[in-house]
Structure 1
Amino acid sequence: MKPPSDQDERPGHPPRLPLSGAAAGSPSTAPPLRMALPADWVAPSIARDRFDHWLRDLAWPVAQREDLVLALSEAVSNSVEHGYGVPSGSAAHDSGVVEVRAELVAGPDQALRVVLTVRDAGGWREPAGSAHRGHGLRMIRAGGDEVVIDGTDGGTTIRLTSRPAPRGRRG
């Protein structure tokens, strides 16, 4: 795997979609976004940047785009901190990989949605609420219509389905 500094806007970054094809609203014109990021504290930033570019190329509604990018950032941060136990502010080390996938899907109502999946192979533990911590899952849930969390000792998968963006009403 390339070091995080080589994973930003350099070769390997998904190609930008032509806005004309994306604006037409055909999910087949939007290839899925896939990332495999090192479980360190630069991963949320890389994920936010790539995902935001992908959504912009789709002309996704601004308010929804911001909510989705924030939800992704929280999910990746949770994988790094809680799944892999990387201490805040620590230097990069080989602790694991956070997988991210985003795809555009059309529902039976023809409205388009983004399905965002974040997966790690770290350990799962039930969230412990506190006055100063434990708000990440609420932020993730606020980012879309549906969130499914599958947490086991072998890892965690978070799947978020966005609110619909009707064809012709994006941008």
Structure 2
Amino acid sequence: MARPETPGGTVGDPSSAVPGPPLPPGEPVAGGGAGTFEHVVRPDRPDLSRMRRRLADWLRTHDAPDDDVELVVLACSEAVANAVEHGSPDGEVQVSAAVRDGRVHLEVKDAGRWDDSPSEPHRGHGLRLIRRAMNQVRISTDAGTVVRMERALR
């Protein structure tokens, strides 16, 4: 069962987000322009390593420091892995990102509804990692699942 969203994260873990400007509600992260990152992961062949490399290279073109690149790529990879595992089995996972005002805005969308309870005792740490790596996290489950994340670049 998904938790209700709040500006800094999801209910039940309010301390997981670092304060920052609020995320715009429902506003798409990227519009497909030259300064944006777009990637589609297909559930029948979820090549996460390619997505991670492309995102890291794209962040470096925006002069993102290595520490920020690692944390943003980690958060994105965890969100995509959750979407592939818990999302719609036949739907694509869409990843988009943009850098505005010194912040990276990242969005991971899928057509399914996540179940955030761990499937096994040693699992279930992905959302915690995402919240620690990013300054702002919002999860919406109105139409599929959309994870919007922000991180200030140093």
Whole-angstrom distance in 1 between the partners of 2:146 and 2:134: 16
Deviations 1:81-103 (A, max 9, x none): 01135xxxxxxxxx211101110
- Measured in 1, the distance between the counterparts of 2:51 and 2:44 equals 12
Is 2:142 the counterpart of 1:158? no
Which residue of the partner structure matches residue 73 of structure 1?
77
TM-score for the superposition, normalised by structure 2 = 0.71
The alpha carbon displacement at 1:36 in A equals 2.0
Give the aligned CA root-mean-square deviation in angstroms.
Answer: 1.9
**CA distances 1:24-65 after superposition (whole Å, capped 9, x unpaired):** xxxxx9611111221245332222111011011112011111
Query: Any gaps of 5 or more consecutive residues in structure 1?
Result: 1-28, 86-94, 107-111, 166-171
**Greater gyration radius:** 1
Identity among equivalent pairs (%)? 40
Aligned partner of 1:96 in structure 2 is 91
| 1:121 and 2:111 are equivalent in the alignment | yes
Change (3 A) 1:43 1:80: same
Asked whether the equivalents of residues 43 and 76 of structure 1 are also in contact (C-alpha less than 8 Å), the reply is: no
2:49 to 40, 45, 50: 45
**Per-residue displacement from partner, 1:113-157 (whole Å, max 9, x unpaired)?**
0000000001233x11453011000111111110000124x4100
Q: Which segments of 5 or more consecutive residues in structure 2 lack a partner in the other structure?
A: 1-32
Match of 1:142 in 2: 132
Q: 1:58 and 2:62 equivalent?
A: yes
TM-score w.r.t. the length of structure 1 is 0.65
Match of 1:32 in 2: 36
What are the residue-to-residue correspondences of 1:1-20 with 2, within 5 Å?
Answer: none
Equivalent residue for 2:7?
A: none
Poorly superposed stretches of 4+, deviation over 6 Å = none
The structure, 1 or 2, with the larger RCO (C-alpha pairs under 8 Å, 6+ apart) is 2
